[in-house]
Amino acid sequence: FAVPLVWLVLSSVMSNAEINRFPPALWPSGIDLGGYRYVLGNAMFPRWFVNSLIVSAVTVAANLVLGSLAGYAFARMRFAGSRVLMGLMLATMAVPFQLTMIPTFLVMKKLGLIDTLGALIVPSLVTPFAVFLLRQFFLSLPRELEEAAWIDGCSRLRVLWRIVLPLSRPALATVAVLTFLTTWNDLTWPLIAINHDTQYTLQLGL
């Protein structure tokens, strides 16, 4: 599992000629730090880093909050069409991004968010993956804990906050890590939605 990381480190200190050579060099003939100097010397690098941090942090926070609320609703509340809605939501997980990027772009354009960080945040405020994962974890929790809290006079929201979420830390951590990595490493959507370099994320800037 460490091979990609080792290759990443080694290739970062190779010269362009070594990187583009075929067959590729497995070991650098010398240490070339030109790439590091070029990136770190770029005046926009700190801005790109902060942009990526903002987008990733807001997206993670939104997915934890909205995903928890939606997941709990699907896990514990029975309402008309709940199964249909859950099925439709799961179906969207099978739809490739290439099918939705044009409609998403048009919606963001109508909202006036193109070329802003909002265009990167709004489409990912809550994802089907976060809702599904949290719902499945909530279903595994014993109902008796919630029923005892209701007897003590807790509302559903208070039960979620005081009982369910503290027991769901593993699932919340999983959602947070995977959402952060997906958002941080995203290149395709920022490439479509962002034009000015002041709004670039780190991946797009590099």
Same domain, 4 and 69: no
Give Cα separations from 65 to 42, 45, 81 (angstroms).
Answer: 36, 30, 23
pLDDT of residue 1: 66
Provide the residue range defining the domain that includes 185: 43-205
How many beta carbons lie within 10 A of that of residue 115, not counting itself? 15
Query: Residue 20: which pLDDT band, with cuts at 50, 70 and 90?
Result: confident
Of 25 and 202, the one with more pLDDT: 202
Q: Does residue 190 or residue 8 have the better pLDDT? A: 190
pLDDT at 25 over 80: no
Q: What is the pTM of this model?
A: 0.87
Q: What average pLDDT does range 166-195 have in this prediction?
A: 96
Q: What residues have CB less than 8 Å from 176, skipping those under 6 apart?
A: 60, 63, 64
In 3D space, the residue among 56, 57, 15, 52 whose CA is nearest the CA of residue 33 turns out to be 15
CATH number at residue 73: 1.10.3720.10
Same-domain pairing of 115 and 144: yes
Which pLDDT score, from 0 to 100, does residue 24 have? 75
Residues 37 and 55 in one domain: no
Tell me the torsion sign for CA atoms 121, 200, 95, 109. positive
102, 163: one domain = yes
Give the tens place of pLDDT for each residue, 93-107.
889 998 999 999 999
Count up the domains in the chain and report the number.
2
Give yes or no: residues 10 and 85 share one domain. Answer: no
pLDDT of 179 strictly over 70: yes
